[in-house]
Structure 1
Amino acid sequence: MRIGFVGLGNMGGRMAACVARAGQEVLGYDVREENVTAAGAKPAASVGELVDGSDIVLLSLPDSKVVEAVMADLLPHARPGLIVVDLSTAAPDSTVRLHALLASRDTAYLDAGISGGAAAAEKGSLTLMVGGEAGELERARPVLDLFSANIFHCGPSGAGHTVKLLNNFLNATALAATAEVMVAARKAELDLETVLAVLNASSGVNFATLNRFPKIIHGDYLKGGLTNTLMLKDVNLYVELAARLGVASPNSAGPLASFGLARALGYADEISNTVVDALGDLSGGVRLHDAAAADSAGSTAPREDA
């Protein structure tokens, strides 16, 4: 298959690089052309040119607004047999509308939420949750296998993006709650290594206690993952989904407040793990680590975060 990739930023660039390292030629388009070449892809002059030169087009974009803008350029070039895979975190209702538009041109459209963060994208070990026709997923699978370790067919169009929102809401809730607990532990003058060991052997264990805070307490925020702005966007999408489904969502208040606070205090474009510093700021300037530890752990290597 001729492979095209639109959106080669933090996540898309790493996924495209996995495909290129597997010996596949990738045609890429990004508003920053340097992102395309850095991923080992060949730059396309436009979305239309990329679609014309591809059998499968992968999208990795910030939100549904951007996906819909790209789709406006893609649609005139859609044709029978083409597969479009949207790897973005997007609103499921928008996804379903785009699926119908592409179906009218006999073009397949799969929504494929991803999880694993920058580290998994770098290693090609992402988890994909896919919505759309099962047969089209099988056609796309050889390409998706190049950057994923787990692929789940979740149901019809929109199901993949729906499962992604459910996952990200739990991810955000666990991160925000654990950040609060760890600030409290620090203020209580507890040994943070011991606190995490207890949590990870007890009922409070979660992804953040296992994978994030063992690094954060030493000043390593695992840079390279989802920002506070994007985390807040994902939680808002979940709240909209819950409202549309008629599901009560009292637990959304915590992550909405926490990541909204992080944005307001200047952490908008920082990795979402810095929500702990936002909570620390309002708790008397608390940090889980000392400055020397933070300086020595200031790695920018890609890390798992979503």
Structure 2
Amino acid sequence: MTSEPIGFIGTGRMGTPMAGHLLTGGRTLVVHDARREAAAPLLDQGAQWMDSPIDVARRAKTVITIVPASREVEAVVGAMLPVLGPDHLLVDMTSADPSSTRRLAKEVEARGARMIDAPVSGGVGGAQRATLAIMVGGAAADFERARPLLALMGKNIFHVGGVGTGHAMKIVNNVLSASCLTATAEAIVVAMRAGIDPKRAVDIIAVSSGRSDATLRKFPEFILPGGFNSGFAMALMDKDLRGFAKLAEEVGYEPRVTGAAIRWFRDAMAGTLASGDHVEVVKLIGYLEGGHS
């Protein structure tokens, strides 16, 4: 393993396989999570446990974070601030609020350190296969410093622009993903009520002009088989959609098509689907019971 340790904070369903690829790639890893047991697979592979974020920053000059939301990012970065210096680079891979990221980056830079945002797309499967798309916001030099690490975790790596643009791009992507899913579900419900088998409808759309990730992956893999198990929670999608609504308001745009998707997910969060997988929104739209909700 290389001698310079890399810090990794957040060893959940996404973080664990991502950090595992760093270990496989020969990197020395020091890790922390809110729950020590979540890091057990990485500790078994040779990672070293740290009791707190500040301990991670004391040991590692490059620290990767992937936690649930901006609130957790702010807490983790705030804990590390006292020991940050000119050699530190923070790489936040959380799906977070761009405005929060920009504020944090200023605090980090005031300590002489650097910060970039590098959220990912591709889900747990992409994390496991190291095929994630990674969208990076930050200075070009900081992006280049992080690139060798990002290349161990993802396949398609993009420098989007300045700090916060990576997080903005992620929520733009996710609102489009949600919109394709809800629009496809509405179309399939109508098809079912017109007497068309949903699998046949999905098969046809998947090779026609209406295809999207919803017909190429989500319906065939997670919805039609009945598992509703994409690995991405309803609450996390709702969080990203609320982030998009906030971003749209900040830039002075009122979304209509994507706004409809946002409302579907808000309705899902108001009921029994709130604790489920995000693809379960199709149940609310009327996919079950032959298209009759």
Q: Same fold (TM over 0.5)?
A: yes
Read off the aligned partner of 2:82 and give its amino acid letter: P
Shift in Å, 1:132? 0.6
| Range with bigger deviation, 78-87 or 212-221 | 212-221
Shift in Å, 1:247? 1.4
Shift in Å, 1:265? 2.7
Deviations 1:9-34 (A, max 9, x none): 12112211221222322111111101
2:158 pairs with 1:152: yes
Q: 1:10 aligns with which of 13, 35, 56?
A: 13
Counterpart contact for 1:102–1:109, Cα < 8 Å: yes
Shift in Å, 1:287? 6.2
| Residues 161-240 of structure 1 aligned to structure 2 (within 5 Å) | 161-215=167-221, 216-224=223-231, 226-240=232-246
Shift in Å, 1:184? 2.8
Report the Cα distance in structure 1 between the residues aligned to 2:191 and 2:267, rounded to whole angstroms: 20
2:268 pairs with 1:265: no
Deviations 1:35-59 (A, max 9, x none): 1122343211111111111121001
Unaligned segments of structure 2, at least 5 residues = none
Aligned with 1:109: secondary structure? strand
Shift in Å, 1:218? 2.0
Q: 1:95 aligns with which of 94, 101, 107?
A: 101
Unaligned segments of structure 1, at least 5 residues = 289-306
Read off the aligned partner of 2:228 and give its amino acid letter: Y
Read off the aligned partner of 2:155 and give its amino acid letter: A
2:134 pairs with 1:119: no
Query: 4+ residue stretches of structure 1 with deviation over 6 A?
Result: none
Aligned with 1:88: secondary structure? coil
Counterpart contact for 2:66–2:92, Cα < 8 Å: yes
Deviations 1:83-138 (A, max 9, x none): 10000111111111111111112211011121111100011111111011111111
2:61 pairs with 1:33: no
Shift in Å, 1:154? 0.7
Call closer, same or farther: CA 1:272–1:287 in 2, change over 3 Å.
farther
Report the Cα distance in structure 1 between the residues aligned to 2:115 and 2:290, rounded to whole angstroms: 45
Shift in Å, 1:201? 2.6
Please name the residue that 1:23 is paired with.
Answer: 26
State how many pairs are aligned.
284
Read off the aligned partner of 2:240 and give its amino acid letter: D
Aligned with 2:209: secondary structure? coil
Counterpart contact for 1:277–1:287, Cα < 8 Å: no
Report the Cα distance in structure 1 between the residues aligned to 2:110 and 2:290, rounded to whole angstroms: 54
Read off the aligned partner of 2:71 and give its amino acid letter: K
Deviations 1:202-238 (A, max 9, x none): 22111111111112212232442x2111111111100
Aligned with 1:247: secondary structure? coil
Aligned with 1:203: secondary structure? coil
The alignment's TM-score, normalised by the length of structure 2, stands at 0.92
Counterpart contact for 2:182–2:285, Cα < 8 Å: no
Please name the residue that 1:303 is paired with.
Answer: none
RMSD of the TM alignment (CA)? 1.6
| Higher RCO (Cα < 8 Å, 6 or more apart) | 1
Deviations 1:114-168 (A, max 9, x none): 1111100011111111011111111111111111111111111111111111111
Read off the aligned partner of 1:265 and give its amino acid letter: G
Report the Cα distance in structure 2 between the residues aligned to 1:223 and 1:150, rounded to whole angstroms: 21
